[in-house]
Amino acid sequence: MTEAPALALTDVRFSWQSKGGFELRCPAFTIAKGETVLLLGESGSGKSTLLSLICGIVAAHQGHITVNGTDLGSLSAGKRDRFRADQIGVIFQQFNLLPYATVADNIALPLRFAPERRKRAGDVARVIADLCGALGLPDGAPQMTAGALSVGQQQRIAVARALIGHPPLIVADEPTSALDAATQEGFLSLLFNQVRSAGSSLLMVSHDARLSQKFDRVIHLTDITATQRSAT
pLDDT in tens, 147-186: 999 888 898 899 899 999 999 999 998 887 766 777 778 7
Query: Taking Cα atoms as reference points, which of 221, 194, 193, 217 lies closest to residue 206?
Result: 221
pLDDT tier, 136 (very low <50, low <70, confident <90, very high otherwise): confident
pLDDT band at 232 (very low <50, low <70, confident <90, very high): very low
Bridge partners, residue 71, by sequence: 66
First-to-last alpha carbon distance for the chain, in angstroms, is 50
Cα dihedral angle (221, 56, 35, 87), rounded to 10 degrees?
170
Backbone angles phi, psi at 61, to 5 degrees: -80, -20
Q: Please tell me which residue, 228 or 30, carries the higher pLDDT value.
A: 30
Indicate the domain borders of the chain.
7-228
Is pLDDT at 131 greater than 70 in this prediction?
A: yes
Check whether 77 has a pLDDT greater than 90: yes
CA pseudo-torsion sign 132, 163, 154, 179 = positive
pTM of the model: 0.90
Instruction: Identify the pLDDT of residue 34.
Output: 93
What is the average pLDDT score of the chain?
89
Answer for the pair 128, 163: CB distance below 8 angstroms, yes or no. no
Contact 205, 174 (CB under 8 A): yes
- Share of residues in the chain with pLDDT > 90 (%): 63
pLDDT at 28 over 70: yes
9 burial via Cβ count (<10 Å: 0-12, 13-18, 19+): buried
Instruction: Work out the average pLDDT over 45-69.
Output: 93
Query: What does the pLDDT read at residue 208?
Result: 85
Read off the pLDDT of each residue in 25-34 and give the average, rounded to a whole number.
Answer: 95
Q: What is the pLDDT of residue 2?
A: 67
CATH of span 7-228: 3.40.50.300
Q: What is the pLDDT of residue 19?
A: 61
Q: How large a percentage of the chain has pLDDT more than 70?
A: 96
Phi, psi (degrees; rounded to nearest 5) at 223: -80, -20
Are the C-beta atoms of 104 and 98 separated by less than 8 Å?
no
CA distances from 40 to 37, 58, 100, 173 (A): 10, 21, 34, 11
